Structure 1
Amino acid sequence: MALRLVQANIKARDDSALGRFWAQALGWGTSSSGAGATAVVPTGFVWTDPDAPVCIDCIAVPDPETVRYRAHLDLATTSAAHQADLVARLLELGATPADIGQGDVPWTVLADPEGNVFCVLEPREIYRDTGPIAAVVVDCADPRALAEFWGEATGWTVHEVTDDFATLRSARGGGPFLELLRSPGVRTARHRVHLDVVPYRGDDQASEVARLLSLGATLADVGQGNVSWTCLADPEGNEFCVLAPG
């Protein structure tokens, strides 16, 4: 039993506008499942495909927080010229430079039009086949322990783990990495960006939720009400949702 990481869920004041930004940023398209929800997906995306890439779901909420977030996206590039061109294009689309104390680094830190911080990485061989999203990065206090949880939750392979950093990726190959970065003063407030996972076809949502609880997850109430998904938090309090399989 395992779960598929299906999307990064980003809260937004204007889901349509934010979805358009990310679609143009990634070279993807948008679709809507109803008012207040805009999905950003590549051409030919099929929700139930076990090898489908990790996508973005922009969800409208009344008052998104403007604090530093515990999760962000890293975008991949293939050359120095590609990185420079992508940064220039993102700025034209409405992104802004962001200073999070990164200092002199080879990657570029930006914020999308709603203030969500993300990074445009310099070319790295490890991300050569990830697609436009190189990694989903989550701040945490203990990367080793959290890698154990997420490895068990998703069945992903742990590629590197230290006291400061851990990286996991689907054993099926392709798609982004899940990276866990030790960060001082990790926030415990509600998160602006979280992960959505879904059982593979034929697996049971309730059974998967029970399995996650046995691994150390806890039930989370984010005001979701009566919905088809289950909101949980990982052992460090990072919220995520277990969606119903399609």
Structure 2
Amino acid sequence: MATRLVQINMKALDDAALGRFWAEALGWGIDSEAPGVTNLEPVGFVYPDPAAVCIDIIARPEPKTVKNRVHLDLATTSTAHQAELVARLKDLGATLADVGQGDVPWTVMADPEGNEFCVLEPRPVYGDTGLIAAVVVDSTDPREMARFWGEAMDWTVHEVADDFASLRSAAGVGPYLEFVRTPDTKSGWNRVHLDVSPYRGDDLAAEEARLRALGAADPGIDQSGISWRILTDPEGNEFCLLTPR
């Protein structure tokens, strides 16, 4: 048994407006499975597929108050492409952001609801990922996060160090999942989180038990009205274990 990262879940005051921004930014299709839910995936994509990590945007009334612990890194192919992408994203409503990054070759931006993301300088490692280079998670212990997520999912661990760890789908396609050491600690509910799914035919309860044995925990909220499970990883980051697909 194993899970795989299938999407990120992002909260928004206006899911439709934020969905339009990210659909135009990524060149993806946009849909809605229910009021207050906007679904984004590549045009022609058959969900789930490791070639892409999709985005679900969910309407919530709480405003963003702190820096997100999960964000997207966007890939570029040249310095000219980086500049062009930054300019295009500004035209769509993104702004430059300062999260204390200092003088770095990448550009930190925020979407129209203030969610941070990075437009990277050209890096060969992301040459085949598509526009989303990586889903990045702030971490106090990247080694432990690589241990947990490497066992939780059937993704391959590519790099592990004290300050950085990365994983990618076993098929070698799509974005990376990266853990970067940061000094800040988690504060409140994560506005952006990971959604993972077991494979078709797997048992949700059995997979939940396996993840708990690896170090996942209960966030302590009422889950009686949902068909999926909400858990936390060893650093307290919420994630959803979806029904098998």
Which category describes the TM-score, using the shorter chain as reference length?
over 0.9
Deviation (angstroms), 1:223: 5.7
The amino acid across from 2:9 in the alignment is N
Using the alignment, how far apart are the partners of 2:203 and 2:63 within structure 1? 32
Instruction: Give me the whole-angstrom Cα distance separating, in 2, the residues matched to 1:63 and 1:136.
Output: 23
**Maintained 8 Å contact 1:11/1:64:** no
Question: Which structure 1 segments of 5+ residues have no match?
Answer: none
SS at match of 2:33: strand
Residue 180 of structure 1 aligns with which residue? 179
Tell me, yes or no, if structure 1 residue 33 matches structure 2 residue 43. no
- Give the match's secondary structure for 2:200: coil
Match of 2:57 in 1: 58
Give, in whole Å, the separation in 2 of the partners of 1:186 and 1:216: 19
Q: Which shows bigger deviation, 184-193 or 89-98?
A: 184-193
Q: Shift of residue 101 of structure 1?
A: 0.7
Corresponding letter in the other structure for 2:113: E
Residue 52 of structure 1, CA deviation: 4.6
* Cα distance in 1, alignment partners of residues 57 and 118 from structure 2: 18
Q: Which residue of structure 1 lines up, in the alignment, with residue 153 of structure 2?
A: 154
Change over 3 Å in CA distance of 1:106–1:222 after alignment to 2: farther
| Structure 1 partner of 2:72 | 73
Cα shift readout 1:80-138 (whole Å, capped 9, x = no counterpart): 11111110000000001100011111100000000000000011110011111100010
C-alpha contact 1:137 1:178 (8 A) present in aligned 2:
yes
> Where do 1:105-144 residues align within 5 Å?
105-144=104-143
Residue pairs, 1:1-246, within 5 angstroms: 1-48=1-48, 50-221=49-220, 226-246=225-245
Q: Structure 2: how far apart are the matches of 1:97 and 1:223?
A: 38
Inter-partner Cα distance in structure 1 for 2:135 and 2:72 = 5
Which digits, 9 at most, give the CA deviation of each residue in 1:144-166, with x for residues without a partner?
A: 01100000011211111111111
Letter in 2 for 1:18: L
In structure 2, C-alpha distance between the alignment counterparts of 1:132 and 1:204, rounded to whole Å: 33
Alpha-carbon distance in structure 2 between the residues aligned to 1:59 and 1:82: 31
1:51 offset after TM fit, Å? 3.4
Q: 2: CA distance between counterparts of 1:38 and 1:181?
A: 28
Whether the 8 Å CA contact 1:66–1:115 is kept in 2: the answer is no
Task: Kindly state the Cα deviation for residue 224 of structure 1 after the two structures are TM-superposed.
Answer: 5.4
Runs of 4+ in 1 over 3 A off after TM superposition: 221-225
Which one-letter code corresponds to 1:98 in the other structure? Answer: A
Q: Deviations over 1:189-221 (max 9, x none)?
A: 111100000111222211111110000000124
**One-letter amino acid of the counterpart of residue 16, structure 1:** A
Decide which moves more: 225-234 or 105-114: 225-234
Q: CA deviation at 1:65?
A: 2.8
| RMSD, aligned CA | 1.3
**Counterpart of 2:101 in 1: which secondary structure?**
coil
Distance 1:10 1:222 in 2: 19
Identity within the alignment, %: 66
Could you say what secondary structure the match of 1:218 adopts? coil
Within 2, Cα distance between the matches of 1:233 and 1:106? Answer: 33
Partners of 1:25 and 1:204 in 2: CA distance: 36
| 1:222 positional shift | 5.1
- Count of paired positions: 245
* Structure 1 residue 229 displacement after superposition: 1.1
TM-score, normalised with respect to structure 1:
0.96
Partner of 1:92: helix, strand, or coil?
Answer: helix
Instruction: Measure the CA separation in 2 of the matches of 1:223 and 1:112.
Output: 31
Q: Which amino acid aligns with 2:34?
A: G
Say if 1:151 and 1:168, in contact at 8 Å, map to a contact too: yes
Which ranges of structure 2 fall in alignment gaps of 5 or more residues?
none
Q: Given that residues 208 and 241 in structure 2 are in contact (C-alpha distance below 8 angstroms), is that contact kept between their aligned partners in structure 1?
A: yes
- The answer to whether the 8 A contact 1:142-1:164 is kept is yes
